[in-house]
């Protein structure tokens, strides 16, 4: 009998637990388990008494063994919740037993898999957690979406261990699949942070490769500004006057591109704001005045174009008088 079944009672009175259990067993034996039954059945497992554990275990295994059973997903979710609780209470073997029950039937159940890696990490076995995820990634049956989730989890462990080259490879694989989902955009941010740390270490060639690769995936990324900083560092360290001049030219070019891209992004957001509600024109106008006050004439020009599209008859003199 799995160890987790030994600790399902939670301090209710015996009469209360037996009454709840009788209702549960009645439903199991009569198979009166509709869609609402799924929600109430597994929480009731917490109130079992010892002589009924075999009955409940048989029901649970039956549900896990049949992927088509509507109780299957609910059962897995509840069991993972209980495994986490068992682990937090120090019952590691009980938690492992639950997860083995699930993963033995469904190797791709990510919630169980991720809990298992978290348990390994907290036991100081982060390398084992990484290896577990790596083995799963070799499985060609893993779906694209699941693969991205597994890679995302693996990256968190690789970062914690400072395994930079492997982190880059995992990020590259995610970005090769997607750059717009939650996982994809997070991978873009992590790539930029990693490249920035390489730049701060003074490894300019490696940083440049990372920034250029990032720009290929996301032309609107902060990599343009970072490339300007990188070339400025090269300019300051150049001994050849001709190369110093070239690095200065590149720094100016990337800086101009970064400013232009920033303006395009900001004005695009302002345009979206106006499309949703033209009355937002007052807010956009006030924002234009603040940009004028801080000395951003190019940004003011972009804002004027947005306002002119929606209010062609207004002069917006205060903004035009730069």
pLDDT (mean) for 286-308: 82
> Is the separation of the CB atoms in 228 and 255 below 8 Å?
yes
pLDDT-based confidence at 36, cuts 50/70/90? Answer: very low
Q: What's the chain's average pLDDT?
A: 78
More confident residue, 298 or 316: 298
Residue range 125-219, CATH number: 1.25.40
Rounded distance, CA 25 to CA 270, Å?
60
Q: Write down the pLDDT at residue 315.
A: 66
Q: Residue 260's pLDDT is what?
A: 83
Mean pLDDT (whole number) for 21-45: 50
pLDDT, greater one: 80 or 131: 131
Q: Which residue has the higher pLDDT, 6 or 286?
A: 286
Could you tell me the pLDDT band of residue 20, with boundaries at 50, 70 and 90?
low
Contact (Cβ atoms closer than 8 angstroms) between residue 139 and residue 110: no
Both tokens assigned to 147:
């693969």
CA-based end-to-end distance of the chain:
80
pLDDT per position as a tens digit, 130-186: 998 898 888 888 889 889 999 999 999 999 888 999 999 999 999 999 888 889 999
Residue 51 confidence (pLDDT): 43
Question: What angle is formed at CA 13 by the lines to CA 10 and CA 19, rounded to 5 degrees?
Answer: 100
Q: Which residues of the chain form CATH 1.25.40?
A: 125-219
């Amino acid at each position: 009998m799995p160890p987790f079944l030994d600790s399902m009672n939670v301090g209710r009175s015996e009469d209360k637990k037996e009454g709840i259990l009788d209702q549960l067993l009645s439903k199991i034996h009569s198979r009166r388990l509709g869609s609402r039954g799924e929600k109430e059945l597994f929480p009731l497992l917490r109130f079992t008494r010892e002589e009924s554990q075999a009955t409940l275990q048989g029901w649970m295994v039956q549900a896990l063994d049949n992927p088509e059973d509507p109780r299957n997903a609910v059962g897995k979710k509840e069991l993972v919740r209980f495994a986490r609780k068992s682990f937090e209470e120090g019952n590691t073997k009980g938690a492992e037993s639950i997860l083995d029950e699930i993963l033995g039937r469904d190797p791709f159940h990510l919630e169980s898999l991720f809990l298992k890696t978290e348990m390994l990490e907290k036991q100081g076995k982060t390398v084992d957690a990484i290896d577990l995820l790596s083995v799963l990634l070799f499985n060609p049956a893993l779906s694209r979406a699941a693969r991205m989730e597994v890679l995302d989890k693996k990256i968190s462990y690789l970062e914690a261990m400072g395994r930079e080259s492997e982190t880059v490879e995992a990020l590259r694989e995610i970005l090769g699949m997607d750059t717009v989902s939650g996982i994809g955009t997070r991978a873009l941010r992590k790539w930029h942070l990693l490249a920035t740390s390489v730049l701060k270490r003074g490894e300019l060639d490696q940083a440049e490769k990372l920034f250029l690769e990032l720009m290929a995936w996301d032309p609107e990324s902060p990599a343009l500004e970072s490339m300007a900083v990188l070339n400025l560092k090269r300019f300051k360290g150049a001994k050849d006057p001709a190369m110093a001049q070239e690095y200065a030219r590149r720094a100016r070019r990337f800086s101009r591109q970064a400013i232009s891209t920033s303006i395009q992004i900001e004005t695009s957001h302002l345009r979206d704001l106006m499309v949703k509600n033209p009355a937002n024109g007052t807010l956009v106008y006030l924002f234009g005045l603040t940009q004028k006050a801080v000395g951003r004439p190019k940004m003011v020009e972009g804002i004027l174009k947005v306002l002119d599209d929606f209010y062609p008859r207004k002069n917006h003199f205060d903004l035009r008088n730069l």
